[in-house]
Amino acid sequence: MDPDSRNPALIAQSLSCERGGRHLFAGLDFALAPGDALVLRGPNASGKSSLLRVLAGLLEPTEGQVLWHGKDTREDPADWRRSLAFLGHGTALKPQFSVGDNLGFWSRFEQASRTPAEALEAVGLSHLADLPASMLSAGQQRRLALARLAARPGGCWLMDEPTVTLDAASVEQLSAMIAQHRAEGGIAILATHEDLAVENAAVLTLGVRS
Amino acid sequence: MSAFTALVRRDVALATRRGGEAALTLGFFVITIALFPFGVGPDPELLGRIAAGIIWVTALLAAIVSLDRLFRQDLEDGSLDLLALSPMPLELVVLAKCLAHWLVTGLPVTLLAPVMGMMLQLDPEAYAPLIIGLALGTPALSLVGAIGASLVLGARRGGALIGLLVLPLYIPVLIFGISAVEAALAGLPVLPHILIEGAVLVVSLPLAAFAGAGALRLAMD
């Protein structure tokens, strides 16, 4: 992941974040080119989620900036937001809606390039499209949340603990999904404790600071 | 603009599902108004004189019933993060949610108002200013209410707080809505009161968009 050898799409420059008077990380620099992946590791409360939220633009960094194709994502967020797919702790699902309707709304709202049917296929939930989301197990809900990312290939996926509640087969499926996303020129940044197979990924280990 | 309509359609669909806010709000509006003849007695003259006030105050309260859920569910399930990360500005997200809230609360209340007026022996002269006033005033209730709903997101007892926060802000909407009806009953021109009610709506549009979006950003931090 040498930023000089290829054209980096996403650049983080000396990112620092402070939450509740506690320094989570400081002076983080990295650059990711299309097809790259970055795995964030570290103990609980080391700032993995906060880093993802800072990158997404949900949290203000105390210092530094994030550039997407050379543009500051804070000052000129339009391109970044069109390319960004974020998976946080919540699944963003409405139990009142069916599986298909849940995904259908986000696909329309985020103007996804793949159809909901294709995205459901990618996470193996096609046969449950008409089921109310409230009937899904925790792992299936997670897969449905991942389908939202599958509907938006090619950009940058930010994933916070994507493997939580997933069974072994689904974790493998997620690995394959990320591999395909990268093959299509996408970038994946994920925080995880699990040994999710992500080939040739850069690893950034955050530590607990005082 | 299709993200805007997608969001409005989703919120309306959520509110009109079984157990959604739409039925709850309308039920509250009708039942509360139906209580008044029991409370003040069935004298048609008395009821007719206070009918417009009853309908307006109940419309205010009905707007508040479902406000707590306007943003809270989206905050808790993580949807709000995604709404904030869309290319559509957060200000428009707030306006889309206000529009959906009005479509399932303010609009049905406005349409039901003449029926409630009949029940309370409202003077025939008062129907037009009452309905026009509600048509202009109820969207303002949703907009101003959204500011309150976004401000109390961090609080644990948000539901009770919203009323305390928002009801005082509803006073201008109430005053000009009622004064239009009073003017009609006194044979005075109604238009100035209706215009001021419209002005309140116009002012509350940008106010709700910017204040609501600001409060949501704080809640997500």
Q: In Å, how far is A202's CA from the nearest CA of chain B? A: 25
pLDDT reported for residue A186: 94
Asked if A97 lies within 8 A of B77 by C-beta distance, the reply is no
Which of A57, A92, A96 minimises the CB distance to B79?
A: A92
| Phi, psi of B155, rounded to the nearest 5 degrees | -85, 145
Of B17, B77, B87, the CB nearest to A91: B77
How confident is the model at residue A3, as a pLDDT?
46
Taking 80 as the threshold, does the pLDDT of residue B40 lie above it?
yes
pLDDT of the residue at A1: 46
Report CA dihedral (A167, A171, A176, A181) to the nearest 10 degrees: 120
B interface mutation test: which of A94, A109, A159 has the most B CBs within 10 A?
Answer: A109
With beta carbons under 8 A apart, name residues in chain B contacting A106: 82
Domains and CATH numbers, chain A: 10-205 (3.40.50.300)
Q: Does the CB of A109 have a partner CB in chain B at under 8 Å?
A: yes
pLDDT value at residue A6: 67
pLDDT digits (tens, 9 = 90+) for B112-143: 999 999 999 999 999 999 999 999 999 999 99
Per-residue confidence (pLDDT) for residue A62, from 0 to 100: 92
Residue type, position A133, single letter:
A
Contact yes or no for A202/A39 (Cβ under 8 A): yes
Q: Where are the domains of chain B?
A: 2-220
Which of A86, A96, A101 is the closest to B82 by Cβ?
Answer: A86
Residue B218 touches chain A, beta carbons under 8 Å: no
% of chain B at pLDDT higher than 90 = 86
What lies within 8 Å, CB to CB, of B41 at 6+ separation is none
Cross-chain residue pair B77–A90, CB shorter than 8 Å: yes
The list of chain A residues with pLDDT below 70 reads 1-6, 208-210
Q: What is the pLDDT of residue A207?
A: 80
Q: Do A108 and B3 touch (CB under 8 A)?
A: yes
pLDDT at res. A208: 62
* Mean pLDDT score, B33-38: 95
Look over chain A and give the mean of its residue pLDDT values, rounded to a whole number: 90
- Residues sharing a CB contact under 8 Å with residue B16, sequence separation 6 or more, in sequence order: B22, B23, B104
| pLDDT at site A4 | 46
Chain A neighbors of B86, CB-CB under 8 A: 81, 109-110
Between chains, do B2 and A111 touch, taking CB under 8 Å as contact?
yes
Q: Mean pLDDT over all residues of chain B?
A: 93
ipTM: 0.91
Q: What is the pLDDT of residue A21?
A: 84
Type of residue numbered A106? W
Interface touch B77/A109, C-beta < 8 Å: no
